[in-house]
Amino acid sequence: MFDLITVPEDLSNEWVISPQKSASGDAIIQADPHLPWEGLNQWYEVHLKGETINVAGATLFGLPTVIIGFNEHIAWTMTANSPDTADVYQEKIKKEGTKYFYQYDNEWKPIEEKRVEIRTAKKKEITLYYTHHGPVIAFDERMLKKRKGGKVVGFKKRKGGKVRDDQYYNCHYAHPNLDQSKVCVHHMHLGWLRSAQPFCPHIS
Convert the pLDDT of each residue in 162-199 to its tens digit: 545 555 666 656 655 555 555 555 555 555 455 555 44
Domains and CATH numbers, the chain: 2-83+160-196 (3.60.20.10), 86-157 (2.30.120.10)
Q: Is the pTM of this model over 0.75?
A: no
pLDDT at 57 over 80: yes
Strand order in the sheet with 107-110: 107-110, 99-104, 86-96, 150-157, 134-138, 124-131, 112-118
> CA 153 to CA 92: how far, in whole Å?
9
